Amino acid sequence: MIPRHLQIAMVVLFVLVLILGFYVRRIRGKVRETVRAADNRPVAPPAAGPSEQATLYVAYDDPGVIHAESARIALPSGRQERAQELVQALLSRYLDKNSPHLLPAQADLRDVYMVDPGLVVIDLNSAFADGHRSGILVEELTIASLAQTLAANLPGINRVKFLVDGKQRDTLAGHADLSSYYDTAAIANLTQQLQQSP
């Protein structure tokens, strides 16, 4: 006959083993998620903030148009962080396997700077520009999509400047001028033209 205190100890140990088993299983799941996150494609970083309705101006290569689309995005309270989240949301869309507007695999946003009054500076990485397809329309779609998305969701922006690796560059991929500032009024006009099918 097994003493009663040993029986209780065994039951407690059994429960502990079960709990540890669940814990180990959960840890393994987290490790798998971490490995998946090591994927080279940039993904939107977790944003601290409630999910909000935003308008993304998404470029479609076929037939070369831009569509305004509503999306729920977790947006922080700071303007600069909001701008980063909005651009990241667009990039995630373009880097997806079902991308409507293909960007180079390593394309990423380095940073977004809000410079008062009304200037936003979008700093892209070199892979973004170096691997971008060359052509007036295809480059315009990228520029208009990024600039109009920020202008539409962040009131008070009136100029947009693009940098590549923190430096000024003449063109995105041989055509769209990056040496000057983009007026948001001009970008809105361009976006309107690009929203119409040819």
Half-sphere exposure of 181 (CA within 13 A, CB side): 12
42 or 135: CB nearest another protein: 135
Contacts to another protein by CB under 8 A: 61-64, 133-138, 140, 143, 159, 170-171, 173-177, 179-183, 185-186, 189-190, 193-194, 196, 198
**Distance in angstroms (rounded) separating the CA atoms of residues 61 and 99:** 9
At closest approach, how far in Å is the CB of 69 from another protein? 21
At closest approach, how far in Å is the CB of 186 from another protein? 5
At closest approach, how far in Å is the CB of 138 from another protein? 5
At closest approach, how far in Å is the CB of 103 from another protein? 13
With CA atoms as reference, report the closest residue to 107 among 118, 120, 123: 123
CB 161 within 8 A of CB 119: yes
Helices 136-153 and 184-194, axial angle in degrees (round to 10): 120
3 or 63: CB nearest another protein: 63
**Distance in angstroms (rounded) separating the CA atoms of residues 85 and 81:** 6
51 or 168: CB nearest another protein: 168
- The per-residue b/e assignment along 150-184, b for 16 or more CB within 10 angstroms, e otherwise, is bbbbbeebebbbbbbeeeebeebbeebebeeebeb
98 or 196: CB nearest another protein: 196
**Distance in angstroms (rounded) separating the CA atoms of residues 156 and 120:** 10
16 or 185: CB nearest another protein: 185
71 or 188: CB nearest another protein: 188
At closest approach, how far in Å is the CB of 76 from another protein? 25
At closest approach, how far in Å is the CB of 12 from another protein? 54
CB 165 within 8 A of CB 110: yes
